[in-house]
Amino acid sequence: MSHAAHIALRNVSVEFPILTFRDRSLRSRFIRTLTPRLSRQKAGMRPHVITALNEVTLDIRAGDRLGIVGANGAGKTTLLRVLAGIYHPTVGNVSVHGRCLSLFDLRAGFDEEATGYENILRRGLVIGARRTEIDARRAEIAEFTELGDRLDLPLRTYSSGMTLRLIFAVATAVEGEIVLLDEWIGAGDHDFRRKARQRLDRIVERAGILVLASHDVDLVRSTCNRAILLQNGRITAAGPTEDILNQYLGSGDKAPSPAPSSG
Amino acid sequence: MSSRMRGAATEIVAQALQFDRWGTLALMDISLRYRRTVIGPLWITLTLAATIGSVGTVYATLFKQDVSSFLPSFAVGLIVWTLIASTLQEGSNIFVASGHLIKAVPAPLVVHVLQMIARNIIIFLHHLLLVIVLYVVMPWQLHWNMVLAIPGFVILLTALFGASTILGLLCARYRDIGTAIVSGLQFIFFLTPIIWNEDAVNGTAFAWLTKVNAVATLLDLVRKPLLSQPTDPAQWLLGSIYAIGLAILGLNFYARYRHRVAYWL
C-alpha cells in the first residue's frame, strides 16, 4: 500500500497577514477608506505580511524518512501544516498521494467534561474517521491506555500522565501511508514510554513516508535518511542526513529569526 | 459555475452527507450540556416559557388582544426566532471558536457549520415541547397544512446555513462584526412581528416593514403552518428566493475564502 505514497511541492509559498487588533476591525477599515489622506500618511499600518514559506520545491517518495531541521520560526511547523492540508499555500502547487496521519496538536478535539470513551469517539470523528471504524478500534485503544474503568470517568479527573496516555493511544490508533511528526511524541511513565515508543516505531516503519521536524539532532540522525535545512522559510540545503545536520550545527544560526510560529 | 465553486459545492455536499460525523458530534455537545446541569438545554426552554408566559399575557392585555389567540402566535414566533438568532450569533463566531481545531486537524470548514446548525436544531426540538404544552392548554384547530411547516423549516435552514457561513467567514477576518450582529439582531427582533401582530401595522406607514423584512418572511413559513394559519404563495416564493440567494452567496464566500481562514485565526 505504501508504494503509492508521494508528495510533490512546486514553488510553494505561504504568506501570512499578521493581523493586529486594528486590522481585525471592520470599523477602522471603513474609516481608513473614508479618509484617504490619513490612510496615506499611515501607510505603515497595513497588515504586515510575513512569508513563512518561500518557493519551496520538494519531492518526497515512498521509502523516504525526511528530517526537517532549522531554527525556531524557520517554517518547520508551517511546512508540516501545508503537507497535512491545514494550510493551503498562497502560491504554488501541492500534491499529496496517500493517507496522511498528522501527529501534532493531538489534544485538539478532546473535551474535559466527556469521558475517556466519549473522547475516543469525539477525536475520531473530528479527524474524519467513520463511526464504525472508531467503534471497531475502541477496545484496542482502551486496552493500550491501560486505564481500565477510568475511561468511564470525565477527562478532567485524569492526571496529566493519564490524559497523555489516552491522547497518544487515540492518535496512534490509525495508520497512515504518510506520517507527519512535529517532534517525536511520547507519553507517560517509564513502562508506558517504552510501549509508546514501540508503537510509534511500528507506525513509522509501516509508513511509506515519514516527515519529522525536530530540534533533536540525534533523533533525526537515527530516524531519517534524508534531511532539509529550513532558514527563513527557504530550503537552504537538502541531501543526506549527515551532511545537512553538519551544516545545521555548523551554521550557528540558532538565533530566532523574525518569522513567527513554528516550534 | 467555475471550477472553484464546483469544488466548494462538492465539498459541502460530501460533508453534509456525512451525518454520522457532525450529527454525532452535535448530539455529544448536547449530552454534555445535560451532564453539566440535570435538565441541560431545557433550562433555555424554561427561560423561554417564562418569557412567553409573562410577556405574552402583558402584551396581549396592552394590545387588547385575546390571550388564547395571541399567546400561541407569540410563543411559536419566539421559539422560531430563538433558533434564527442563536444560529446567526453562533454562526458568526463559528470559525473563531473552532480556531484551535481548524489549525490542528485538516477538515473541511463546513463541518463546523453543520455541527452548529444540528446542535441548534436539537435545542429547537426541546423548545417545541412548549408548543405541545400550549396546544394542550389552549388548543387551536388542526389543519392538514400544518405539514407545510416542514418545507418551511427546510427553507429557513437553507437560509440560515448560507447566512451563518457568510457571517462566520466575515467575522474570522473582521472581529468587530460579531458585536454588531448581537445589537443588529435585537433591532431586527423589534422590526419582526413577534411581540406584535401583523394586523397592528396594516394600513399604517410601517406596513412595508413586514413585507421587506426577510426574517419575518422566513419565520412565517414555519410559524403560520404550525398554527394552522393559511400561508401566502407570495411568501413561499419570496422565502425561497431569500434562501437560494443566501445559499449561492454563501457558496461564493466559501469557495473564495475557505482556504484563507486558517491564516486569519
Between chain A and chain B, the number of residue pairs with CB atoms below 8 A apart is 78
Q: Which chain B residue's Cα is nearest to A89?
A: B259
Q: Which of A175, A198, A229 is the last residue of a domain?
A: A175
Answer yes or no: do B101 and A128 touch at CB < 8 A: no
Q: Residue A203 contacts by C-beta under 8 Å, 6 or more apart in sequence?
A: A101, A172, A175, A176, A179
Q: Does B25 touch chain A (CB under 8 A)?
A: yes
**A142 lies in some domain:** yes
Residue written as grid cell 506520517: A179
pLDDT of residue B224: 93
List pLDDT tens digits, range A157-190: 999 889 989 999 998 888 788 999 988 877 767 8
Q: Which of A122, A148, A175 is the last residue of a domain?
A: A175
Residue A261 banded pLDDT, cuts 50, 70, 90: very low
pLDDT at A66 over 80: yes
Give the best residue of A24, A32, A104, A105 to mutate against chain B (max B CB count within 10 A): A24
* Alpha carbons A243 and A246: distance in angstroms, whole number: 5
Residues of chain A positioned with their CB less than 8 A from the CB of B102: 86
Q: Does B107 touch chain A (CB under 8 A)?
A: yes
Q: Are residues A90 and A114 in the same domain?
A: no
Q: Are residues A91 and A129 in the same domain?
A: no
pLDDT of residue A184: 81
Of the partner residues B174, B180, B262, the one whose CB lies closest to the CB of residue A24: B174
**A203 lies in some domain:** no
Taking the CA of residue A123 and the nearest CA in chain B, the distance in Å comes to: 10
* Alpha carbons A247 and A243: distance in angstroms, whole number: 6
**A33 lies in some domain:** yes
**A186 lies in some domain:** no
What is the value of pTM for the model shown? 0.88
**A261 lies in some domain:** no
Q: Are residues A63 and A127 in the same domain?
A: no
Residues of chain B positioned with their CB less than 8 A from the CB of A19: 264
**A9 lies in some domain:** yes
**A11 lies in some domain:** yes
Taking the CA of residue A239 and the nearest CA in chain B, the distance in Å comes to: 29
* Alpha carbons A169 and B31: distance in angstroms, whole number: 24
* Alpha-carbon Rg for chain B in angstroms: 19
Q: Are residues A77 and A18 in the same domain?
A: yes
Q: Are residues A95 and A219 in the same domain?
A: yes
Residue A259 banded pLDDT, cuts 50, 70, 90: very low
Residue type, A34: L
Q: Sheet harboring A226-231: ordered strands across?
A: A100-103, A178-182, A209-213, A65-70, A226-231, A234-239
Q: What angle do CA A36, B166, B93 make, to 5 degrees?
A: 95
Answer yes or no: do A27 and B176 touch at CB < 8 A: yes
Residues of chain B positioned with their CB less than 8 A from the CB of A30: none
Q: Which chain B residue's Cα is nearest to A87?
A: B262
Q: Name the pairing type of β-strands A48-61 and A100-103.
A: unpaired
* Alpha carbons A228 and A243: distance in angstroms, whole number: 10
Residues of chain A positioned with their CB less than 8 A from the CB of B40: none
Mean pLDDT per block of 10 residues along chain B (265 residues) reads 88 92 93 82 87 88 83 93 96 92 90 96 93 87 87 97 96 89 92 84 77 91 92 93 96 93 88
Of the partner residues A25, A87, A105, the one whose CB lies closest to the CB of residue B175: A25
Instruction: Retrieve residue A180's grid coordinates.
Output: 507527519
Residues of chain A positioned with their CB less than 8 A from the CB of B24: 121, 125, 131
Q: Are residues A139 and A222 in the same domain?
A: no
Residues of chain A positioned with their CB less than 8 A from the CB of B36: 113
Q: Sheet harboring A48-61: ordered strands across?
A: A48-61, A6-18, A91-97
- Kindly state the average pLDDT of the residues A92-114: 89
* Alpha carbons B62 and B50: distance in angstroms, whole number: 18
Q: Does B104 touch chain A (CB under 8 A)?
A: yes
Taking the mean position of all CA atoms in its chain, how far away is CA B147?
A: 19
Instruction: Retrieve residue A155's grid coordinates.
Output: 477527562
List pLDDT tens digits, range A209-232: 999 999 888 989 988 999 999 999
List pLDDT tens digits, range B8-33: 999 999 999 999 899 999 999 998 88
Answer yes or no: do A29 and B174 touch at CB < 8 A: yes
pLDDT of residue A263: 38
Q: Which chain B residue's Cα is nearest to A115?
A: B32
Say if CB A67 and CB A212 are below 8 A apart. Answer: yes
Per the structure, the count of domains in chain A is 2
Q: Does B6 touch chain A (CB under 8 A)?
A: no
* Surface-to-core class of residue A134, CB atoms within 10 Å of its CB (0-12 exposed, 13-18 middle, 19+ buried): buried
Q: Are residues A124 and A170 in the same domain?
A: yes
**Widest CA span in chain A:** 68
- For B122, the domain range is 3-264
Q: Which chain A residue's Cα is nearest to B260?
A: A88
pLDDT of residue A27: 79
Q: Residue A184 contacts by C-beta under 8 Å, 6 or more apart in sequence?
A: A200, A212, A214, A216, A219
Q: Which of A175, A199, A224 is the last residue of a domain?
A: A175
- For A115, the domain range is 110-175
pLDDT of residue A44: 52
* DSSP calls for chain B: --HHHHHHHHHHHHHHH-HHHHHHHHHHHHHHHHHHSTTTTHHHHHHHHHHHHHHHHHHHHHTT--HHHHHHHHHHHHHHHHHHHHHHHHHHTHHHHTHHHHTTS---THHHHHHHHHHHHHHHHHHHHHHHHHHHHS-----GGGGGHHHHHHHHHHHHHHHHHHHHHHHHH-TTHHHHHHHHHHHHHHHSTTSS-HHHHTTSTTHHHHHH-HHHHHHHHHHHHHTT----HHHHHHHHHHHHHHHHHHHHHHHHHTTTHHHH-
List pLDDT tens digits, range A18-63: 777 777 888 777 787 777 665 555 555 566 788 889 899 999 998 8
Say if CB A117 and CB A151 are below 8 A apart. Answer: yes
Q: Are residues A138 and A163 in the same domain?
A: yes
Q: Which chain A residue's Cα is nearest to B35?
A: A113
Answer yes or no: do B106 and A86 touch at CB < 8 A: yes
Per the structure, the count of domains in chain B is 1
Q: Which chain B residue's Cα is nearest to A21?
A: B175
Among B119, B106, B123, CA closest to B22:
B119
Residues of chain B positioned with their CB less than 8 A from the CB of A109: 101, 104-105
Residues of chain A positioned with their CB less than 8 A from the CB of B25: 122, 125-126
pLDDT at A260 over 60: no
